Structure 1
Amino acid sequence: MAATLRDFLFELEAAGELHRIRRPVSPRLEIAEIADRHAKVLAPTPSANAVAFDPGHAGGGGRALLFESVEGCDLPLAINVFGSYRRTEMALGVAGTGGFGAVASRLASLTKPEPPRSLGAMIGKGRELLPLLRTPPRRVRQGVCQEVVRRTERGEVDLRRLPLIQCWPLDGDPTAVGYPMSAEAAGTAGGEGRYVTFAGMHTIHARDARENKPASHNIGMYRAQLVGPTQLVMHWHVHHDGAAHWRSWQAAKMPMPIAICFGGESVLPYAATAPLPPGISELLMAGFLNGRGIPLVRAKTVPLWVPANSEVVIEGFVRTDAGPIGFDPRRDPDGLGPGAAFEGPFGDHTGYYSLPDRYPLVDVTAVTHRRDAIFPATIVGRPPQEDYYLGKATERIFLPLLKTLIPDIEDYHLPMFGCFHNCAFIAIDKAYPLQARRVMHAVWGAGQMAWTKMIVVVDGDVNVHDEAAVLRAMFTHCHFGRDVEIVNGPLDILDHAAPRLGAGHKIGFDATRRMTGEEVGGYDLTPPPPADREAVTRRLEPLAGHDAIDRITVPAVGGGRVVFASVRKTAAGQGAAAIDRIFAATDTGADFVVAVDEDADVGDWSDTFFHLCANADPGRDLHRRGARLGIDATRKLPGDERNGQPVRDYPPIIQMTETVRERVEMHRGEFGLFLAPPPAGAGCAGTGGVHAALLGKIWTWTLALASCQGTVVVLAGRRGRVVDAASCGSTPVVVGLM
């Protein structure tokens, strides 16, 4: 582990994991485009540990980047620092000692302690627990984060000089997503769509305002939009601890102190994202990972303690006279009210823009930093990005804790196409009827896993990290009239398909083998009949090109039982109509039909499942025909309401402008982009732009020609001689020189 961000960057550079960029680059879109391209190519060193649980992406992530000259800003910027498994392992100090599994084992020994059976075992257990005594934070008098102190009251603060970045073209422009409120009227024009994207937000509960050591000290990683020289606007979800703290200060009728801390020990960013139970401090987790407590220094203008080794700290108070979320200027043009701004839109980790809403302002009182500070940031967008690797670290590290809560679980996997909250694959050692459904409901009540929208449960002999194997089990065993569970419940607030903000429906598929006692819905245990994929394809091919159906595929992973259709949707009901036509065209097969928009690649099941998870609500968009199930995963329009469930606004999918792409392309060598840019959508959902079966050879050879799933992969040696190829159709795309 590294004590500071600067130390960690030196470590990465020594390992060949860092690329320095000296050419001046704009913080508006250019940095994001460069970082996004790096995120979609191979990293210098793959993680041998990650091959076991994410074989398709164990070697992805490009390099960490250090922008030494950011236009209009005073500090250099580091990005994509945690953007590979190897670098995240290095940050946690486990790159050579078992990876995330090593941390999981340490946690497991603490959460399930076994009574010692001898004096020697007792001494050994004492040694094992001894490091816990060193994990609480330590208070110190001085810290490098306060080598320079700038106070607002002295006119010394200008947040615009910090390299806050704009990630996507529509960020910060409400009119671009259909709202009749300009950025000026929203109160955010001064920030030009730039955001804090990679900082620990330190807050406490109002009840601890007078406590010397507040037990509620929390670190959350939220976004904050730049508003002007001394103001930001916060964004947090209603279930986050930071939001709960804000409500406590609002009840006390006092502004909430906040410290926004950048950098510090290399374990801090992960600790800030860890799904800890309420009341368990992220500082304790950071100390546990660090092997000793995190040093804290008293903030200069707010009653908080901050990590002494931070690069930059923004201090201030969050206004509590702001109204709640749910403001819409189309219904109440003058209702924004005091203490708030209309924050957003913002290109989010879902791959879509999160739409704007009312959030509270932060009045900044000071900015402190070290003399040679480096400012960290991340690009937020469709995975893989840095948050993908941090999220997968949580998947592995917290597996023992999840198994303690739900002992039935053998293993689980959060596929990239689900963007974490949208899908989970779970393996169980099935012992009794309907056990899979019990596990589904347990997951839907387990901490942050409760937001999971779609669950597939398989038997323990299925490799849950082999996504195709999980889907084959699902389409082999699932009777879609019998083996589907649908519930009401809370959803991620970013789920635009939910009929109501943060509330909708979830779906579970029992893909285990049937046993007596699982006769559900009037169906016996007869397995679903296999389907002739070629025959189904012949029957459905004539539908393509007619009645808004653009393309139809019958993917091999479904063996004829699964059909994907892309729809040129211009009116409500066209997605449902496409499903009906497919059901009518064949009386065998086509048991699971998914309709998506024409910008989805129905030739790639992972991309189709990305759109399915993002754009469908199980309580509104399912179309049942006995044992057949259709899912309308097209973008919903007014008139698509069904089953009493409304339709909310669907945001645009995020994509970079051609102007910015071309500008970056002109200097690609200086930006470390020795790899050609991937085609639109490449490597986003299921493959990371690399054919998983050939990863080992790709790391070995000098020239790699590759593309996403469903294309040709060619590997060439030093002199261009073709040494291996795997044909899946389509044509090769140059991914890069290595």
Structure 2
Amino acid sequence: MAYENLREFIAALEKAGELRRITVEVDPELEITEIADRVMKSPGGGKALLFENVRGSRMPILVNMFGSRRRMQMVCGSEKLSEITENFLALLESRGPMSFLEKLKMLPRLKQVSDIFPQEVRRAPCFDVVIEDPSFELLPVCKCWPKDGGRFITLPMVFSRDPVTGATNCGMYRLQIYDAKTCGMHWHLHKGGAEHLRRMKERGEVLPVTIVLGAGPAEIFSATLPLPPDVNEMMFAGLLRGSPVKVVKCRTNDLLIPAEAEIVLEGYVDPGELRLEGPFGDHTGYYSLADMYPVFHLTAMSMRRDPIYPHTIVGIPPMEDAYIGEAIEELFTPILRKQFPEIVDMHMPVWGCFHNVMIVAIRKAYPGHARKVMHGIWGLGQAMFTKLIIVVDHDVNIRNYGELVWRAS
């Protein structure tokens, strides 16, 4: 089922018994994290939480929307997520003898997938309420951990455009609130947004950026995915939904964003401006240290009537991101097999913080085969940050850690 917006998803979660409403007053500084952390670490990931009485704000906060296997299946519309990617790859295979990346670049010209490409509309609920004096202070932004450098928006969809190719990137990067008009933009150097900023710096111009809070669940999830630069995140969301994402042009720039968004923050990033960002209690269970990052300037703000603020919390696993990572693993294993046919299975344990540890089962054909696979994986996008790759024979159950240690030792 395609959920057009966050509200439809919340209604579906409630109907499925996957949501709990909390009506007592809660503090966005530390208290929401304490409650949510306990729920997320319960067996199966606990329920999604809708905090309806947030101190200092009239906006409810939704937490843990992705925090169970069942909820991720609802987001992706399938109980077997790998089938989504396998069907997608089968379509690409019909394009003839080209490399996998060449086929990805052909996507915009494929008639068969035209029904999953974003569909532009002229009017949108995300512009129902226009804020005359835009301010981050209108949002119930949480402080999660005691030594965090401040309050962080943790579930934003950040849209920017490559000034050379015209391709749009939608990524998820934490945003530290500095004051009413500015926040940090946590773009690592290898991220798409950072590349856009470098190119604007060469031109001596600022980069238009729009931050979206609270779109449909497939759109939010797609913003977390390590997709190649030639694959549009909203197109991939359409693939998950089975229907196109409705998009609308921003009020102050030409970026196309989900029309059903809860909150829209428009502005710019100046490539010549950096500010200290962090520390931040991260998904590793440790604080990431403060460092210099670009700054987003808020110039326009709009929202739906009675908007809902989406939020996530990261820390010592397992937490909500465990189920996001599990879904990513299942979606991308068929793609990894396409690159390396000898791979039988792949697993990124939650206790390895996903990207830090990867376990791969292969059909070994010759001495040194495992090493060849390791180096190949390290050459793939964000897999270059994987600290430890363990390669075992095809008959090893890589999700049975006891068997894995026995085989490795």
Q: Distance in 1 between matches of 2:160 and 2:316?
A: 29
Q: Does 1:150 align with 2:127?
A: no
* 1:179-198 mapped onto 2 (5 Å cutoff): 193-198=150-155
Q: Distance in 1 between matches of 2:203 and 2:57?
A: 38
Instruction: Summarize deviations over 1:253-279 as a string: whole Å, max 9, x none.
Output: 111111111122220122111111122
Q: Distance in 2 between matches of 1:68 and 1:383?
A: 26
Residue in 2 that maps onto 1:442: 376
* 1:572-651 mapped onto 2 (5 Å cutoff): none
Instruction: Summarize deviations over 1:80-115 as a string: whole Å, max 9, x none.
Output: 000111101111111xxx331332332332343498
Instruction: Summarize deviations over 1:663-703 as a string: whole Å, max 9, x none.
Output: xxxxxxxxxxxxxxxxxxxxxxxxxxxxxxxxxxxxxxxxx
Q: Does 1:397 align with 2:398?
A: no
Instruction: Summarize deviations over 1:366-389 as a string: whole Å, max 9, x none.
Output: 111100211101002122222221
Q: Does 1:139 align with 2:123?
A: no
Q: Distance in 2 between matches of 1:106 and 1:24?
A: 46
Residue in 2 that maps onto 1:253: 204
> Which of 353, 356, 361 does residue 427 from structure 1 map onto?
361
Q: Distance in 2 between matches of 1:34 and 1:256?
A: 38
Residue in 2 that maps onto 1:21: 22
Q: Secondary structure at the match of 2:298?
A: strand
Q: CA offset at residue 194 of structure 1?
A: 0.7
Residue in 2 that maps onto 1:37: 38
Q: Does 1:93 align with 2:72?
A: no
TM-score normalised over the length of structure 1: 0.52
Q: CA offset at residue 158 of structure 1?
A: 2.4
Instruction: Summarize deviations over 1:61-90 as a string: whole Å, max 9, x none.
Output: 100000111111231110100011110111
Residue in 2 that maps onto 1:311: 262
Q: Secondary structure at the match of 1:206?
A: coil
Q: Distance in 1 between matches of 2:92 and 2:332?
A: 11
Deviating above 6 A after TM superposition, structure 1's stretches of 4 or more consecutive aligned residues are none
Larger fraction in helix: 2
Amino acid at match of 2:169: N
- Contact 1:107/1:400 (<8 A) preserved: no
Q: Does 1:68 align with 2:2?
A: no
Residue in 2 that maps onto 1:169: 146
- Contact 1:131/1:291 (<8 A) preserved: no
Q: Distance in 1 between matches of 2:244 and 2:85?
A: 19
> Which of 178, 182, 195 does residue 227 from structure 1 map onto?
178
Q: Secondary structure at the match of 1:306?
A: strand
Residue in 2 that maps onto 1:551: none
Instruction: Summarize deviations over 1:538-596 as a string: whole Å, max 9, x none.
Output: xxxxxxxxxxxxxxxxxxxxxxxxxxxxxxxxxxxxxxxxxxxxxxxxxxxxxxxxxxx
- Contact 1:415/1:467 (<8 A) preserved: no
TM-score normalised over the length of structure 2: 0.93
Amino acid at match of 2:263: V
- Contact 1:74/1:161 (<8 A) preserved: no
Residue in 1 that maps onto 2:241: 290
Identity %: 43
Instruction: Summarize deviations over 1:417-455 as a string: whole Å, max 9, x none.
Output: 210121111101111111111111111112222211111
Q: CA offset at residue 303 of structure 1?
A: 2.8
Residue in 2 that maps onto 1:498: none
Residue in 2 that maps onto 1:453: 387
Residues 1:107 and 1:468: Cα distance change in structure 2 (over 3 Å): farther
Residue in 1 that maps onto 2:11: 10
Q: Secondary structure at the match of 1:198?
A: coil
Residue in 1 that maps onto 2:103: none
- Contact 2:169/2:229 (<8 A) preserved: no
Q: CA offset at residue 139 of structure 1?
A: 0.9
Q: Distance in 1 between matches of 2:122 and 2:292?
A: 38
- Contact 1:73/1:160 (<8 A) preserved: no
> Which of 139, 148, 163 does residue 206 from structure 1 map onto?
163
Q: CA offset at residue 131 of structure 1?
A: 5.3
- Contact 2:187/2:294 (<8 A) preserved: no
Amino acid at match of 1:6: R
Amino acid at match of 1:41: S
Instruction: Summarize deviations over 1:105-145 as a string: whole Å, max 9, x none.
Output: 32332343498xxxxxxxxxxxxx86512111111111111
Q: Distance in 1 between matches of 2:69 and 2:187?
A: 27
* 1:547-566 mapped onto 2 (5 Å cutoff): none
Q: Secondary structure at the match of 1:25?
A: coil
Residue in 1 that maps onto 2:253: 302
- Contact 2:152/2:175 (<8 A) preserved: yes
Residues 1:451 and 1:111: Cα distance change in structure 2 (over 3 Å): farther
> Which of 226, 229, 252 does residue 275 from structure 1 map onto?
226
Instruction: Summarize deviations over 1:185-215 as a string: whole Å, max 9, x none.
Output: xxxxxxxx1111001100001236xxxxx3x
> Which of 93, 110, 133 does residue 112 from structure 1 map onto?
93
Instruction: Summarize deviations over 1:512-554 as a string: whole Å, max 9, x none.
Output: xxxxxxxxxxxxxxxxxxxxxxxxxxxxxxxxxxxxxxxxxxx
Q: Distance in 1 between matches of 2:208 and 2:346?
A: 39
Q: Secondary structure at the match of 1:235?
A: coil
Q: CA offset at residue 219 of structure 1?
A: 0.3
Amino acid at match of 1:137: P
Q: Distance in 2 between matches of 1:23 and 1:158?
A: 26
- Contact 2:151/2:176 (<8 A) preserved: yes
Q: Distance in 2 between matches of 1:12 and 1:19?
A: 9
* 1:235-246 mapped onto 2 (5 Å cutoff): 235-246=186-197
Q: Does 1:265 align with 2:221?
A: no
Instruction: Summarize deviations over 1:220-266 as a string: whole Å, max 9, x none.
Output: 00011011111111112111111111111122111111111112222
Q: Distance in 2 between matches of 1:103 and 1:303?
A: 31
Unpaired stretches in structure 1, ≥5 consecutive residues: 43-59, 116-128, 173-192, 209-213, 323-339, 476-738
- Contact 2:135/2:298 (<8 A) preserved: no
Q: Secondary structure at the match of 2:372?
A: helix
Q: Distance in 2 between matches of 1:367 and 1:72?
A: 19
Instruction: Summarize deviations over 1:478-524 as a string: whole Å, max 9, x none.
Output: xxxxxxxxxxxxxxxxxxxxxxxxxxxxxxxxxxxxxxxxxxxxxxx
- Contact 1:425/1:470 (<8 A) preserved: no
Q: Distance in 1 between matches of 2:82 and 2:229?
A: 24
Q: Distance in 2 between matches of 1:386 and 1:260?
A: 22
Residue in 2 that maps onto 1:723: none
Q: Distance in 2 between matches of 1:372 and 1:131?
A: 38
- Contact 2:82/2:332 (<8 A) preserved: no
Q: Distance in 2 between matches of 1:468 and 1:108?
A: 34
How many residues are paired up?
A: 395
Q: Distance in 2 between matches of 1:433 and 1:16?
A: 52
Q: Distance in 2 between matches of 1:279 and 1:112?
A: 17
Residues 1:298 and 1:307: Cα distance change in structure 2 (over 3 Å): same
Q: Which has the bigger relative contact order, CA under 8 A and spacing at least 6?
A: 2
- Contact 1:255/1:317 (<8 A) preserved: yes
Unpaired stretches in structure 2, ≥5 consecutive residues: 97-109
Q: Secondary structure at the match of 1:132?
A: helix
- Contact 1:29/1:168 (<8 A) preserved: yes
